[in-house]
Amino acid sequence: TFGQGAGCAADLQYWEQTARQIRRCAAGDKIVVEKSTLPVRTAAAMTRILGSGDSRAHFEVLSNPEFLAEGTAIADLGSPDRVLIGGNDTPAGRAAVAELVALYSAWVPRERILTANVWSSELSKLAANAFLAQRVSSINAISEICEATEADVTEVARAVGMDSRIGAKFLKAGVGFGGSCFKKDILNLVYLCESYGLKAAADYWRQVVDFNNHQQERFVARMLRAMFNTVAGKRLALLGFAFKADTGDTRESPAIRIASLLAEERAVVVVNDPQALDNARRDLSACADRIVFEADPYRAVQDADALALLTDWRLYRELDYARIFAAMRKPAFVFDGRNALDHEALSRLGFNVYAVGKSPRTNA
């Protein structure tokens, strides 16, 4: 957020302080393990700091990035897809890698423990998150085509995902990705590419983030068109604010941008989430005078003109939508930003249903 590389580069002041503290306190040789997502070649800088001055200790720096998903971190740690350990290709480096491999071997099958050089390990974490985010933006780009051509993005994703070369994961269209990692790591990758003069690669990865922003703007624009080209003065209930279900984390949540854009259109925005309301108040403080925060989903939709599902909490799939329809103003609209609801059933109740990547189901 400041200085050269602002908005893209990682803030590295804290790892440097940590490295200096380790050097100051170490009484003997140490293996230092990077767990955070760091730019490629950070380990080299850390090694220089640890080895500077009058320190007599020897340090081996390993890269061991975390591949844990929020909401399932404990399960991911207990049964990981893989553990990646990067070290120097020297006798001391190989010995340090072997120590960490032995530690993980207590519960992780050896074939799931991968070893690499430090730079490959550091880059792999950035690349993994970039690939996952790219899949989200890719299927969302297809969703835009589906809406224009009356194709169904769920059917397209199923057909594409059954190709064993592609697979079905992260092919669910919606309002875009959020969380603390994807955007940060992609922009870190963009900055890395730019630092090495790799403009085409930087532009390619930046487009993943740009399209994610576009998807949220497009979602709001579709709401406006469906609701007679204005939402001014209309009550809009946003169901869900966390970036994904089963967490209260709202960092980079698509709901922040969507709620803000709707507030700019002078809608009465009502935010509901079972865990994230406190964070939502903080995230929307700039437009808090136009936002209502409501803990009860049924109260949130009372007299609403539309509801928009932004987080696919199980709670929202199990609501009584007949009761909700009766409580809303007519015509009543549902905008399913996660394609998590039963659209046919909602249409039978009388809702006008707009789902991402699908043709609308309209009623009078």
Alpha-carbon distance 80 to 331, whole Å? Answer: 48
Per-residue pLDDT, 364: 67
- CB count, 10 Å around CB of 261? 20
Considering only residues 7 and 184, tell me which one the structure prediction assigns the higher pLDDT: 184
Query: What distances in angstroms separate CA 288 from CA 83, 269, 291, one per listed residue?
Result: 43, 10, 5
Question: What are residue 117's DSSP bridge partners?
Answer: 87
Alpha-carbon distance 310 to 30, whole Å? Answer: 47
Considering only residues 5 and 50, tell me which one the structure prediction assigns the higher pLDDT: 50
Nearest to 54, CA basis, from 87, 79, 24, 90: 24
Least confident of 9-18, 81-90, 130-139, 233-242: 9-18
Average pLDDT on 262-291 reads 96
Average pLDDT on 265-270 reads 97
> What is the torsional sign of CA 230, 234, 237, 243?
positive
Residue 181 known to be catalytic: yes
pLDDT higher than threshold 60 for residue 6: no
Average pLDDT across the chain, whole number: 92
- Written as six digits, the tokens of 315 are 């709670």
Alpha-carbon distance 289 to 210, whole Å? Answer: 29
Question: What are residue 9's DSSP bridge partners?
Answer: none
Tell me whether the CATH fold assigned to 13-123 matches the one assigned to 227-355.
yes
Nearest to 313, CA basis, from 248, 220, 219, 235: 248
CA angle 265, 267, 268 (to 5 degrees): 150
Query: What distances in angstroms separate CA 198 from CA 193, 205, 285, 319, one per listed residue?
Result: 5, 11, 38, 50
Alpha-carbon distance 154 to 277, whole Å? Answer: 30
CATH topology of domain 128-211: N-(1-d-carboxylethyl)-l-norvaline Dehydrogenase; domain 2 (1.10.1040)
Report the Cα 209 to chain-centroid distance in Å.
Answer: 11
Per-residue pLDDT, 52: 76
Alpha-carbon distance 263 to 290, whole Å? Answer: 6
Per-residue pLDDT, 131: 96
Per-residue pLDDT, 189: 93
pLDDT higher than threshold 80 for residue 12: no
What is the four-CA torsion angle of 83, 209, 240, 301, rounded to 10 degrees? -160
Considering only residues 82 and 5, tell me which one the structure prediction assigns the higher pLDDT: 82
User: For 32, phi and psi rounded to 5 degrees?
Assistant: -105, 125
Q: Domain coordinates of the chain in residue numbers?
A: 13-123, 128-211, 227-355
Average pLDDT on 354-360 reads 98
Alpha-carbon distance 179 to 253, whole Å? Answer: 6
Per-residue pLDDT, 98: 97
Where does the pLDDT of residue 48 fall: very low under 50, low under 70, confident under 90, or very high at 90 and above? Answer: confident
**The CATH number, out of the four listed (2.30.110.10, 3.40.50.720, 3.40.50.300, 2.60.40.1220), of the domain defined by the range 227-355:** 3.40.50.720
Nearest to 216, CA basis, from 246, 184, 172, 176: 176
CATH of domain 13-123: 3.40.50.720
Per-residue pLDDT, 327: 98
Query: By percentage, how much of the chain surpasses pLDDT 70?
Result: 94
Considering only residues 39 and 151, tell me which one the structure prediction assigns the higher pLDDT: 151
Cβ(361)–Cβ(152) under 8 Å?
no
Active-site residue, from 8, 146, 181, 193: 181
Q: What is the 3-state secondary structure (H, E, C) of the chain?
A: CCCCCCCCCCCCHHHHHHHHHHHHHCCCCEEEEECCCCCCCHHHHHHHHHCCCCCCCCEEEEECCCCCCCCCHHHHHHCCCCEEEEECCCHHHHHHHHHHHHHHCCCCCHHHEEEEEHHHHHHHHHHHHHHHHHHHHHHHHHHHHHHHHCCCHHHHHHHHHCCCCCCCCCCCCCCCCCCCCHHHHHHHHHHHHHHCCCHHHHHHHHHHHHHHHHHHHHHHHHHHHHCCCCCCCCEEEEECCCCCCCCCCCCCCHHHHHHHHHHHCCCEEEEECCCCHHHHHHHCHHHHHHEEECCCHHHHCCCCCEEEECCCCHHHHCCCHHHHHHHCCCCCEEEECCCCCCHHHHHHHCCEEEECCCCCECCC
